Structure 1
Amino acid sequence: MNENENPNHYDRERPAGLTPVTVIGLGAMGRALAEAFVRAGHPTTVWNRTPEKAAPLVAEGAVLAGSVEAAVAASPLVVTCLTTFEATRQALGPATEALSGRALVTLNSGTPAGARETAAWAAGHGARFLAGAVKNVPSAVGAPDTLLYYSGDRAVFDTYASTLKVLGGDTVHLGAETDLAALYEMAVGAMLLPALVGFFQGAAAVRSRGLEAGSMVRFAEKWLDMIKSLLPVYAEEIDRGDYSEAASSVNLFLEGAAYDEELSRETGVDATWLAPLYDLVEQAVAAGHGEHSVSALTEVLAKRP
């Protein structure tokens, strides 16, 4: 069933068949979400603890609700963009009666446990629930290749699929388990800080020679492309549990530790953040993975009994 076939009473109120949407939480990402809905023609109601943040959206045609209760009551589809699942439940606390019969979509950070707790909370108040994640920056919201994924009630996803695709053309439903989006959000997000700190360390080393950090961007992008090309290979090794075909062995990475230490001394750049990573590499060697593919680090990280 798509959203225009949904028989509930909201259909009769939709201009040109477009779903009314409420967006709660107007930080940088929340404003981008609301702006995408407004520009796509969806009647859009917004609410934020600091109402001044809504002014640019109101200028574009959004309606600022006077309370969170009024915001929830205004639309069949309620999209929240707050910091955590707990913050979402707290913000919606005064509007629990209005949630009944509505679709609640959360786009925030948090753990799988937080998603499960929020799903149970939403169901207890009569709402249908999807947890989601935006895998890009606010400026990318609405682009054809921007990825958002969701998990939870498949009927909600199917009903509002075309509305949700306004936020990004690469829109995926991961499954009925409500915590899958949070799981993938954290699993994929785990790559971000190590990758960025690696770039920042490199930038500091380059600048120690009086060179601009911008001079390494082109080469860093190529390096990331190479890493991207390896991910399917490593994923296959991990899923097979076979690390014997080592293009880059664990021992090879362990040998690199001395070079990082030498560069740190030469440039004066602090590289102590790498110590736990090399400790992990040493654990892998001790476990017999020295000549195996570096993807065998997964086995050390898993800490299976």
Structure 2
Amino acid sequence: MRIVFLNSLEKKDGGAMIRGAQVWIGEEEGVWRMGWNELLADGQTEDLWYEGASWSEMLHIYRHRLAAKLGEGFRPVMEDIWDEKEGLTRRGMAAQKLFCYSELNGNEPVYNELTAWRRKKASAERKAPYLIASNRLLRMISVFLPQTADELLQLPGVGENKAGEYGAELLEITKAVERKRTFPLDWVEQEIDGEVFRTWLYKQKEVKYRAEMEKFSIRRAALEALAEGLKVEDICTRTGIERRDAVELLENLEKEGYNTDDLVSAELVEMPEAEQQAVWLAYEELGDALLKPVLHKVYGTEAAEGGSLDTLYERLRLIRIRYRRHRESARHAG
């Protein structure tokens, strides 16, 4: 096997190395292999991270697995194997330090009170809780305890609109709690140990790259199902995603240029032709940006409120795939 990449890492405790490791990538007759060798007191262990023909898949796994190791405290002997500041501006790095500090120094009683407030507010406004405030924002508010609107606006994720809409209620909670540190929050940078912050950043990358890797795997499974002539239910079985998400994935694949026509035809085989034509004409009249007007046009408001609403929407989206492909072909032909 031809090694095309190799780097050494080490894990230290108090400045002394306690464990060494190597991450490597090799190739042999079109097959990529990637692994992690760890040097232990009683010998060496080898963990094969990937073996296959896909360079893209291997890179997704590499980023995720390496981020996990860096999050455990391993550091590269050769620098620049990973830049933890990648893509971050100075302002962005300052925000990350606020996130880090608040997560490592939690104030659970206030955080729980804030999440209870958010839950009631979301129910009253019929919104998803994250649209009101993210967990990360509530965590920061619970730790830094802003006492004024100006202080609240100094937290990343709080803009004028959010402060105007929810600021008074948030401050009512935080003002009732005694705080030990004040604003501005420039003291945070001095409070965070540099190595602790690096480890925290790597753990954030691990979460990010895990999500990207899972998304890549789902996309690959969907493409394989298309090539095999399978249906939506088969995609759901292979990937574990819901039908709604599978149809959305098909829409995105169609936009990328993949042909989903066989699968769409198989899914619509039980839908009467006249009904399909009515949906098509509704798209021509109303456009394809919104599904609800088309639903009401074809089925009426009463029928659209029945128990088969998910099925109706799925069929509308499948026909929209065809409609958009037809419209794009006509545009290029013209």
Shorter-chain TM-score bucket reads under 0.3
TM-score scaled by length of structure 1: 0.24
Larger CA Rg, structure 1 vs 2? 2
